[in-house]
Structure 1
Amino acid sequence: MAELNNLDKKFKTLDDFLGTHFIYTYDNGWEYEWYAKNDHTVDYRIHGGMVSGRWVKDQEANIVMLVPGIYKVAWTEPTGTDVALDFVPNEHKLNGTIFFPKWVQEHPEITVTFQNEHIDLMEESREKYETYPKMVVPEFATMTYIGDAGQNNDEVINEEPYNGMPDDIRAGKFYDENYNRISK
């Protein structure tokens, strides 16, 4: 059975991290929802910031444990955006650096969609518009939700983001005790 909003969870191993669902807010106010789906893929939704409304499933990523309880996750998106995240969940902290190509900074609306259905558009835009200089966004974040969703749970990131979704998740109004979507 899944544990909803378990901010007291203690992380020691990579297995403790895999299958975990997080909501965190960067110091700049951008709010993200992120799920360690398994040892090589992540799903996420973006709830605040310049690409708010974007969501992605099955993003290939490099996921490693640096030392017990500290994890590094990095990937390159079809947009050309590079992401490097350092999770310190026992402290409810994260440090992330996002490297946005120039075209994403100038045309963020192109990316605000369910990326999986628009990979061709992301790749076409990456070739059509300028990539450099990249916009580098290094930020610390505070975790406001830690859920034990289990690995390979396609119910975690299961629909497009809406206003108030993170609050609904934190309040227990989005998932049931088995981490299935509660009917709207």
Structure 2
Amino acid sequence: MTEKTFKTLDDFLGTHFIYTYDNGWEYEWYAKNDHTVDYRIHGGMVAGRWVTDQEAHIVMLVPGIYKVAWTEPTGTDVALDFVPNDKKLNGTIFFPKWVEDHPEITVTYQNDHIDLMEASREKYDTYPKLVVPEFAKITYIGDAGQNNDDVINQAPYAGMTDDIRAGKFYDANYRHPNQK
């Protein structure tokens, strides 16, 4: 795990995080650049889902505290507040009713199934939304650099986050030569 002090927006961009919400859901998230994020979901109702090149609004609120927000093609809205110097995060996920009722539809590489996400959003109920506000503990911080397509480029597997935290997944250049 990288030990660094976050002060500027540039300190945050290019950083790879693993965090676990207080409800037990584990997520992996990467600030790919100043307008794009990638992520994998390892625990919770949509575990197995992964996404690359998600457009997002990324700002620094004050030195070392960052706000990231986006809307997915599923209609899910996400707002995350990162406090990486304290290894904390607060997130709120606003799941449309259809995702709560049919989470299995979303458990895929979203980028290959945008049409399905949009069709499901139109076919099923979107309201009432399931609002999941949670605090999380950041359990891994990696300095992957910006626009590194090796950070999130395969489906999650059981034990992946343990492999990453143990230094078994990425090499010294933040690439994973033993891609599973």
TM-score by length of 1: 0.97
Shift of 1:9: 1.2
Could you tell me whether the CA contact under 8 Å between 1:82 and 1:100 is conserved in 2? Answer: yes
1:58 maps to: 53
1:75 aligned counterpart, secondary structure: strand
What's the CA shift string for 1:120-151, capped at 9, x where partnerless? Answer: 00000000000000000000000000000000
Q: Which runs of 5+ in 2 are unaligned?
A: none
Match of 1:141 among 130, 136, 143: 136
Work out which structure has the larger RCO, using CA pairs closer than 8 Å and 6 or more positions apart in sequence. 1
- 1:130 corresponds to which residue? 125
How many correspondences in the alignment?
Answer: 179
Whole-angstrom distance in 2 between the partners of 1:180 and 1:158? 10
Is the CA contact (8 Å cut-off) linking 1:173 and 1:182 kept in structure 2?
no
* Alpha-carbon distance in structure 2 between the residues aligned to 1:106 and 1:163: 24
The equivalent position to 2:80 in structure 1, one of 85, 92, 108, is: 85
Identity of aligned residues (%): 84
Q: 2:69 aligns with which of 74, 90, 99?
A: 74
C-alpha displacement of 1:23: 0.1
**1:161 is the counterpart of 2:168:** no
Report the CA distance between 1:158 and its aligned residue.
1.1
Matched ranges for 1:1-184 at <5 A: 5-6=1-2, 8-183=3-178, 184=180
SS of the equivalent of 1:33 reads strand
Q: CA deviation at 1:39?
A: 0.2
Give the SS at the match of 1:118.
Answer: helix
Unaligned ranges ≥5, structure 1: none
1:78 match: secondary structure: coil
CA distance in 1, matches of 2:177, 2:156: 15
What is the one-letter code of the residue matched to 2:39?
Answer: Y
Instruction: Letter of the 2:170 partner, please give it.
Output: Y
Give the whole-Å Cα distance in 2 for the aligned partners of 1:115 and 1:173.
26
Counterpart CA distance in 2 for 1:9 and 1:105 is 37
**Deviation digits for residues 107-128 of structure 1, max 9, x if unmatched?**
0000000000000000000000
Paired with 1:29 and 1:57, the residues of 2 have a C-alpha distance of 23
Q: What RMSD over aligned residues (CA atoms) do the two structures have, in Å?
A: 0.5
Shift of 1:157: 0.1
TM-score by length of structure 2 reads 0.99
Regions of 4+ moved over 3 Å: none
